[in-house]
Structure 1
Amino acid sequence: MSASPGEIGLIVVGDEILSGRRRDRHMEAVIERLGARGLELAWARYARDERAGLAAMLAATMASEALVFCCGGIGATPDDVTRQAAANAAGRPLQRHPEGEALLRARFAGDASEQRLRMVDFPEGASLIPNPVNNVPGFRLERHCFVPGFPQMAWPMIEWVLDGPFAAWAREPGASRRVRVHARESDLVGLLERVGTAHPDVRLACLPEMQPDGDYLAELSVHGATADVEAAHSALERAACARAPGAVSIHPARASWRGCHGRSRFTPRQRRAPARGPVAQRARGL
């Protein structure tokens, strides 16, 4: 397996997600697990329990070099079509996996019905992904990894893939810092361009927000290797404070990638109360 990290994607399968009956929890969990290993999620897609559409999506992703995690649709009910769609996309027949069958027969004994054994009908050449919860495996086809939709099962199985077949991809977790500025997003373009030009090895982002009172808030963040982030953040902080003195909140020195996606673990190190009056309004671009 290549030691160079490539693009990593996520496909979440299920009508219940797209109908809103259930909320997707996989993307946040995958981002967190990748971040702990110095990796990032490049993209995420959602798909219905519809064989042809899912097969077309998988055929497109299989044509790339991406490592793809696909959650959901590998059970035994009629609406579980992910195994068949993966076989169609890869141009391979479904075959009962002998090791998978042995696992199911050991798990269910006399209740190992034909319907249950279908759960290990995988595309030809697939390898198993162990399931530590109920011993019903998922499967891997080259760089595509298929796991159940149940989070309790899917997440440790994804960790097994990352720490096993793709362990060589792991890197030191990156860092992230951020600054909040009371300003319009459009007023910060020049500032971000200047800092970005001076620090090309980091990624800068601007997340705007409108406050209930009509005020504008922009969260400026910088992501990358720790040393690069420290230098870029200092420049960003100075530029932001010079632009809007008294209207800036500065956030802590260091956090892993998981801190800048999903569950934020940031707590303010220094939070200046927003200035009031005409001067503050001009500083905020109002």
Structure 2
Amino acid sequence: MAASEEQKDKAGTTDRDARFETVSAAILVIGDEILSGRTRDRNINFLAGHLTAIGIDLREARVVPDRQEAIVAAVNALRQVYDYVFTTGGIGPTHDDITAEALAAAFGVELAEHEAAIRLLRSYYGADGLTRERRRMARAPLGAELVGDCDGHSPAFMIGNVFMLAGIPSICEQMIASITPFLRTGRRLISLGMTVSAKESDISALMRRHQDALAGIAIGSYPRFTEDGCEVSIVLRGPDRQALAAARAMLAEELAQSGAEISLSDPA
């Protein structure tokens, strides 16, 4: 499904220089099965990588149960802070799939069957196969737009700055691919890294000093134990590759002077 100009405008897509703009997002994972440990979430990891790659900065991820009041509270909190909110889960045909109802309550509108979604589902399941349970997947907050689908059987809706995605990872991945043309994107963050043969506590002061001196660059450190002892993976993130390379070189030189062995890397 191609993005219309009107839908792109509603999603915030405009003619501007994205190189200098930050577009933020949050993910809201919905499901008792995630919180109980019965199901391991895979959507946060996938969405984080995809959004970073296209120039959207994921700032927060939350997990809430299948309770309307919890979903409403989280949606209303997140959509006020971030450019986009992506919900995953709760849009299927069963009684505990309540994301559509919750978003209608969050936006203060009625819940209604979306005619375009009904046509989509009917074309996939056939007239006889479009049962009452499957029609539930065509329900959306009044005013929501159909912005994508997964092979005709899982409609994706947008209302305001909130996108409703499936919880099943394979379907969620197809949905995000179909809605990506609707998304306003900004500057893309680049990562450069290094591995340091040292204990994190031994280099923490040096790391803090460099972080305080570097505007627009985030430095993260991730320790791990190896057969030879301890090492730390250091990742620098920012929008300017030249500035990142210069910062990494400066940091690596000072770490090497302390006696640590350095191995440079470019994290994905």
Quick check: 1:74–1:138 contact (8 Å CA) kept in 2? no
Are 2:57 and 1:43 aligned? no
CA shift at 1:2, angstroms? 5.1
Match of 2:192 among 156, 163, 177: 177
* 1:229 aligned residue: 244
Quick check: 1:69–1:146 contact (8 Å CA) kept in 2? yes
Supply the distance in 1 between the matched residues of 2:100 and 2:227 (Cα, whole angstroms).
47
Quick check: 2:149–2:178 contact (8 Å CA) kept in 1? no
* 1:148 aligned residue: 166
How is 1:263-282 mapped onto 2 (pairs within 5 angstroms)? none
* 2:263 aligned residue: 250
Match of 2:231 among 217, 240, 245: 217
Supply the distance in 2 between the matched residues of 1:5 and 1:202 (Cα, whole angstroms).
14
How is 1:1-286 mapped onto 2 (pairs within 5 angstroms)? 1=12, 3=14, 4-108=21-125, 109-162=127-180, 164-166=181-183, 168-171=184-187, 173-211=188-226, 215-224=229-238, 225-243=240-258, 245=259, 247-252=260-265, 254-255=266-267, 259=268
Supply the distance in 1 between the matched residues of 2:47 and 2:100 (Cα, whole angstroms).
21
CA shift at 1:198, angstroms? 4.1
Supply the distance in 1 between the matched residues of 2:63 and 2:117 (Cα, whole angstroms).
27
**CA separation of 1:45 and 1:161: change in aligned 2, threshold 3 A:** same
SS at the partner of 2:85?
A: strand
CA shift at 1:197, angstroms? 4.1
Identity over aligned residues, as a percent? Answer: 29
Supply the distance in 2 between the matched residues of 1:113 and 1:135 (Cα, whole angstroms).
13
CA shift at 1:38, angstroms? 2.9
CA shift at 1:118, angstroms? 1.9
* 2:6 aligned residue: none
Gaps of 5+ in 2: 1-11, 15-20
Write the deviation string for residues 26-51 of structure 1: whole angstroms up to 9, x where unpaired.
01111121122133311111111122
* 1:274 aligned residue: none
Quick check: 1:177–1:229 contact (8 Å CA) kept in 2? yes
* 1:281 aligned residue: none
CA shift at 1:144, angstroms? 0.5
Amino acid at match of 2:134: R
Quick check: 1:127–1:140 contact (8 Å CA) kept in 2? yes
Quick check: 1:31–1:41 contact (8 Å CA) kept in 2? yes
Supply the distance in 2 between the matched residues of 1:175 and 1:118 (Cα, whole angstroms).
41
Quick check: 1:201–1:228 contact (8 Å CA) kept in 2? no
Would you tell me which structure has more strand in proportion to its own residues? 2
Quick check: 1:69–1:158 contact (8 Å CA) kept in 2? no
Amino acid at match of 1:136: S
Matched residue pairs, number?
A: 249
* 2:4 aligned residue: none
RMSD after superposition: 2.0
Supply the distance in 2 between the matched residues of 1:227 and 1:22 (Cα, whole angstroms).
42
SS at the partner of 2:224?
A: strand
More off after superposition, 96-105 vs 187-196: 187-196
* 2:7 aligned residue: none
TM-score normalised over the length of structure 2: 0.85
Amino acid at match of 1:250: S
CA shift at 1:226, angstroms? 0.9
Gaps of 5+ in 1: 260-286
Supply the distance in 1 between the matched residues of 2:55 and 2:78 (Cα, whole angstroms).
23
Quick check: 1:179–1:248 contact (8 Å CA) kept in 2? no
Supply the distance in 2 between the matched residues of 1:21 and 1:193 (Cα, whole angstroms).
39
SS at the partner of 1:42?
A: strand
